[in-house]
Amino acid sequence: MIRRATPEDVPALVGLVYDLAEYEKARHECALTDEQLHASLFGPDPKVFAHVAQRDSGGEVLGCAIWFLNYSTWTGTHGIYLEDLYVKPEARGLGLGKALITQLAREAVANGYRRVDWSVLDWNTPSIEFYDALGANPQDEWTGYRLTGEALTRLAAR
C-alpha cells in the first residue's frame, strides 16, 4: 500500500532517512529531527512531500519517497526531484520501491510535470540496476555541485 505521509508517519520517516544515511556510509552527516521534517512536510506552506509504503493499511511503514518540486526552464514545467527513496532491507523484493516511484510518476503525469529526477551514488549497483530496469536514463553528462559549510558562508558574506 502506497499513500501520502501523515504527521503520524514523521518518526518512521526520520528513522528511514537515518537508515538510508547509514546505508550510504554517511550517517555522521545526517542531523534531521522529527520537528524539522514535520515542519517541512506539514507546516503552513509545505515545500517537501512524502509517500510511504506499507504491507497493508495500518501496518508498519516499510519504505518512503521524500520529494520536492523542481523546475525546468527548457520545458517550462515543474518536475519532481526525488530526494530519498528507501525500503527497509527486510521488505526489499516486495515491489515497494517500484510502487513508490510509480506513484511519483503518476503524480508527475497528473500534474503536467515533465520529469522525475534523482541522484544515485556511483557505487550503489543494486539501485542503479533497479533504476535501469525502470527505463530511467543516467544523466552522466552532468556533474553535480554542492556549496555547503564554510564555503557557503564565505560566499554569502561577500
Residue 124 has which C-alpha cell?
550503489
Cα atoms in the Cβ-side hemisphere of radius 13 Å centred on 54: 16
Residue 82 has which C-alpha cell?
526525488
Active-site residue (options: 18, 71, 86, 131): 131
Instruction: Examine the residue annotation and report whether 113 is marked as an active-site residue of this protein.
Output: no
Which residue is associated with the grid cell 524539522? 36
Q: Which residues pair with 3 in a beta bridge?
A: 52
Which residues belong to the active site? 131
